[in-house]
A and B are shown apart, each in its own frame.
Chain A
Amino acid sequence: MTIGEFTRAARLTLSLARHEIAVQRKESFLGLVWIVLWPVIQAGGFLFAFNLIRGGSSGIDTVLSTYIGVLVWTTASSILVSNLSILKSNREMITHVVFSFSILSVVDLTVKYLFFLIQFCIGLALWLLLIPNEHWYLVLIYLPIYLLAFYLVLLAMAWTASIVGVALPDLSFFLPPVLTLLLVLSPVFQRDADALPWLVRVFNELNPLSTWVDVLYSTIGVATTGLHAPILFLALSIVAVTAAHFLVKVFYREMAKVI
């Protein structure tokens, strides 16, 4: 891909994402207010259910880390679930309009990612303001690396999910409850990993969403957990997106016949 092609693709993605956001704004009374309101309600609900009722910690650091963890988790899981059916829901377009339909996943991801960034920046600002961190400048240096890696790994997941979703449509029904269950067992709510049964620990280690939350926590608390986590994450995400792009090239070529 040349720089010109990349610029065109990026411009197209941003234009389409802007239109999608405009439509989402029109489709509810509160419009874009939901970008802020929705994760607050969601994280608040989870906190209430799993921490306060159970008598866990309700300190500001718990609230903010839960908010950020839920945000990462729900962004990733909503992108995963929506991309499982993205090709089928655009079947008419794919079979009649000549365009590079790998853009569908990119646009869906970009819209959700832009919302994530707004929600995340609010949480991060509160984190840096309310929780003393002498290495805050390192957070600001390494966080962009994490965010880029997170975007790339989500793209890899979205493209792969779009292909898998055509082959295994049942996943659209199976995954949402499983992902909610895994969130409950994840480091977002289970901070003391050693206290968990070994099977849950294995699940958490194998589950990429848990890893992404862990890496973010490491990035935010970079002074204590090391600098390598976001850089390693970026390297892995580049490998993942390259592999997913290869899958797209192989399978999308036949998709208009199969779908």
Chain B
Amino acid sequence: MLMRGKQTTIPSGAIQVQDVVLEYPVYRSVVRDRFRALLGVVMPSLMPPVRRVLDRVSFAIKPGEVVGIVGRNGAGKTSLLKVVSGLVSPTDGMVRVGGRIMALLAMGIGFRPMYTGRENLMLGGLLLGLETRVIANLISDIAQFSELGDALDQPYFTYSSGMRSRLAFSLATSIPADIVILDETLAVGDLRFVAKCYQRLKEIRDSGKTVLFVSHNLGEVARLTSRVLVLESGRLTLDGDVFEGLKKYEESLAEESLTAPIISPELKDVDVSLVVRNGQGQPLKVIELGQRVSIELTIVVQQDLGESFVFLRMMSMENNQLYAYLSLKRWETLREIPEERDSLHIAAGETTITWTLPYWICGEGSYFIDAYVGPACAPDAPDLSRGRFWRHAVRLRSVYSNAYLKGACGLAEMPVESVTMKTVTAPGRRSGDSR
């Protein structure tokens, strides 16, 4: 049941969700089951089997709060937004919303191809319940923000996807509302416009409106929100502090990755652990830009692996992009030092490889490091299917110590001061190899 602010005493901008259950029909035959689902509205016994996408979700949001919703694909984030915005009525439970909601659940949906951008703005505004006069006043602001210029009077079908997203975002965030709901809507457009969108969101946040925000970009969730809801398989598993919530979400992602199948069965008795330490040797989870760190990879094997190829790759948790690659060779300005080895002999026992980085250069965000161990191969055409990846061997958060660096990010060469190797063989015999 969806109750609007007028009917209840809930303050404007507040949201109360109580024991909400949402179920969708499961389609085996679309036409037949849709027919049954419609008849099921009046005769529940005819309803086809259902899939529960939200399971007893409860939370309350105060006016002016900015809340991020995170979770894996299919966790129920969009369904929750649909229920809160009133697009879908819950199967059970209660949703109470105070004031006007502006929900942008998809970019450009509902815009008519033959209408001009201006006409689509008018149409969108009218559908959202605004007066023609109010929309006419908003259009000049929207035109300025979207930077569409003369294109605003061209048919919508001539717009590029970037222009469409600019138009939709500009409309959605210009409409006066007490609650703004956004679903993954910023992942489009050029970088400059995305930055502008975030600035607009910050302005909305600072103006005291309630914002519900779904994103897979955890850095932005951390930056924009003060509270996070973590959804897993339709259940609310955490409702609280943003960093605690993001940590939980990252852990759930990592668990999934760590259970990935082993590519090479002959490497199943290999144990790998990875630790990142600061200059004093203490383990780190949060690294400041410019900090001196060492990354310590320990490989424990029962049998001699022979000449092996080992490397680490550091990936962004937010977009799964490669940020750094660390092999046994040091690299200098993207050129390898030819005399250095790219493989090592891994004997039975424990082998530790330590990369010392004089300064950490990865931008603000969350990262994970994958470790790879496999048979030695030609470095220019390595066959990685013969080895094994340890996904998410370690997870890190990089932060800025200097406000001027905010917003800096990108792929960069990771400077390596030294790579050292130390082996403790199985019976306790110790041998070393250091550079």
- By a beta-carbon cutoff of 8 Å, the part of chain A in contact with chain B is 8, 11-12, 15-16, 19, 22-23, 26-27, 92-93, 95-99, 103, 163, 166-169, 250-251, 253-254, 256-259
Contacts and interface: CB of A to CB of B under 8 A. Distances in A.
A93 B105 CA distance: 10
A198 to B, nearest CB: 34
A92 B107 CA distance: 11
Contacts of B110: 92-93, 96-97
A167 B39 contact: yes
A99 B128 CA distance: 6
A160 to B, nearest CB: 13
B127 A99 contact: yes
Chain B's interface size range is: 20 to 34
A75 B320 CA distance: 56
Interface string B120-148: 00110011110110000000000000000
A143 B25 CA distance: 47
B114 interface: yes
A169 B29 CA distance: 13
Contacts of A98: 85-87, 101, 103, 128
Contacts of A96: 87, 105-106, 109-110
B107 to A, nearest CB: 9
Interface stretch (B30-38, B344-352, B426-434): B30-38
B62 interface: no
A98 B103 CA distance: 7
Nearest to B42: A250
Given A26-B114, A98-B103, A254 B34 contact: no
Interface in B82-128: 82, 85-89, 101, 103, 105-106, 109-110, 112, 114-115, 119, 122-123, 126-128
Interface of B: 24-25, 31, 34-35, 37-39, 41-42, 82, 85-89, 101, 103, 105-106, 109-110, 112, 114-115, 119, 122-123, 126-129, 131-132
Contacts of A251: 38, 41
Choose among A22, A92, A96 the residue with the greatest number of B CB atoms under 10 Å from its CB: A96
A166 B34 contact: yes
A168 B129 CA distance: 32
A257 B132 contact: no
10 contacts: A11-B132, A15-B126, A19-B119, A19-B122, A98-B128, A166-B38, A254-B89, A256-B87, A257-B24, A259-B34
Given A11-B132, A22-B119, 7 more contacts: A97-B109, A97-B128, A99-B129, A167-B39, A168-B35, A257-B37, A258-B37
Nearest to A163: B38
A169 B31 contact: yes
Nearest to A168: B35
A169 B132 CA distance: 36
A251 B89 CA distance: 11
A255 B101 CA distance: 20
B115 A19 contact: yes
B129 to A, nearest CB: 8
A109 to B, nearest CB: 17
A171 to B, nearest CB: 12
Nearest to B38: A167
Contacts of B25: 257-258
A11 B125 CA distance: 13
Given A93-B109, A98-B86, A258-B25, A23 B115 contact: yes
Given A93-B110, A97-B127, A167 B132 contact: no
